[in-house]
Amino acid sequence: MQRLSIVVPVLNEEEAIGIFLQRIVQVIRKIEDLDYEIIFVDDGSSDDTSRIVHKAHAENPAICLVRLSRNFGKEAALTAGLEAASGDAVVPMDVDLQDPPELVAEFVRLWRDGYDVVYGQRIDRASDTGAKSGSAGLFYSLFNRLSSLRIEPNVGDFRLMSRPALEATLQLRERNRFMKGIFAWVGFRSIGVPYSRPARAAGTTKFNYWKLWNFALDGLTSFSTVPLRVWTYVGSVVAVISLLYTVMIVLQTLLFGRDVPGYASLMAVVLMLGAVQLISLGIIGEYLGRLYIESKQRPIYLVREQVGIHGQVQAPHSLPAISAAVKAGE
Ligand code: UDP
Ligand code: MG
């Protein structure tokens, strides 16, 4: 029998877990010849999230828990869950029912038809505010222009991956985990399933604009070096312009005598060039900082507790000694 793993990162989602489980279990049970597990990854919740998953596990052993030692962010939590998954296919999902569970049946059908990746594609963003969908659109077009990799607009983490596609994804061990990019980089035979994204079923969003902005920066810097290289061209253009300007000033002085006033234009040029240099330094800093973080080779997440996991959370991300130590310090 084939086995499906559902991976659900959760952060303070005590209200949403019950409703989510009800819907998803109902859907999966209707699919023929399919064994399943539902892995909740508790990303350092401070509410009753873990306890609710424990209780659910007692009633249905197919429901499992990986509890991280603190909040590592959704991308890291997702990675933990994907590594713990033992299924022939895995589906990462949000717990807030914005990824409709009913779609999973369709995903499985297409996977059985031979696709390795089946992703959900939002056809409308009616549940998002105008500012959010506008900035998302801007991000996708900028990303696709700057990076040689193409990410489909309006495709999130909600997708099905076959075991080979999953193994490939897990080989990308960067600390800076921009999942949309990682999923796209891996490739494989893929197909999209359009759906409309409903509003959150319970609780509130865990992402504010500052988090989203940093997320966008991570995405761009992980998958493009254009922002680094562009300064060569900016510099060249400025050099050519300043050369022409110099020639003009020399000629003017020779022909019409010395022209003393010029404080305003001098200030404008000095400030402008200073600003451009600071911006380019800042961008080099962005990349350097990321390089620094990568070079430390820290684990992507640490596990504090596991319940009912069949798959193996790979070393060194769950060194037993570390999880034991974290547990002891509880
Ligand atoms: N989430 C998480 N860690 C975080 C932030 C979010 O595990 O640091 C989970 C959250 O519990 C939810 C999913 O990621 O299951 C998506 O979050 P949310 O619905 O708040 O994002 P939005 O849909 O508003 O983009
Ligand atoms: Mg959501």
The per-residue pLDDT for range 295-314, each reduced to its tens digit, is: 888 888 988 888 888 755 55
Q: Which residues line ligand 1 (CB under 6 A)?
A: 9-11, 13, 43, 71, 73-74, 77, 94-96, 98, 200, 205-207
Closest ligand 1 atom, residue 10 Cα: 11
Instruction: State the ligand closest to the CA atom of 47.
Output: 1
The structural domains of the chain, with segments of one domain joined by +, span 2-203+299-329, 226-296
CA distance 157 to 130: 21
SS3 content of the chain, % helix, strand, coil (to 5): 50, 15, 30
What is the mean predicted confidence (pLDDT) over 178-196? 85
CA distance 290 to 286: 6
What's the CA-to-centroid distance between 206 and ligand 1, angstroms? 5
DSSP H stretches of helix in 113-225 = 130-146, 163-170, 179-186, 209-223
Instruction: State the ligand closest to the CA atom of 74.
Output: 1
- Unique residue bearing structure tokens 């659910």: 56
CA distance 217 to 143: 10
pLDDT at residue 112 in the model: 92
What's the CA-to-centroid distance between 9 and ligand 1, angstroms? 7
* CA torsion, ordered 74, 76, 77, 79, to nearest 10 deg: 120
- As a whole number of angstroms, the longest Cα–Cα distance in the chain is 94
The more confidently predicted of residues 81 and 308 is: 81
pLDDT of 125 over the 70 cut:
no
Residue to substitute in 41, 74, 128 for testing ligand 1 pocket (most ligand atoms within 8 angstroms of CB): 74
Q: Mean pLDDT across the chain, nearest whole number? A: 84
Predicted TM-score (pTM) above 0.85: no
What is the arrangement of strands in the sheet containing 190-196, beginning at the earlier edge strand? Answer: 190-196, 117-124, 155-162, 89-92, 2-10, 34-42, 63-68, 303-307
pLDDT of 316 over the 60 cut:
no
Using pLDDT thresholds of 50, 70 and 90, give the confidence band for residue 322: very low
pLDDT of 330 over the 60 cut:
no
pLDDT of 118 over the 80 cut:
yes
pLDDT at residue 252 in the model: 85
pLDDT at residue 14 in the model: 86
With respect to CATH, is domain 2-203+299-329 assigned 1.10.10.10?
Answer: no
Instruction: State the ligand closest to the CA atom of 20.
Output: 1
pLDDT tens, 92-112? 999 988 888 889 999 999 999
3-state secondary structure of 178: coil
Q: Whose CA is nearest to atom 17 of ligand 1?
A: 206
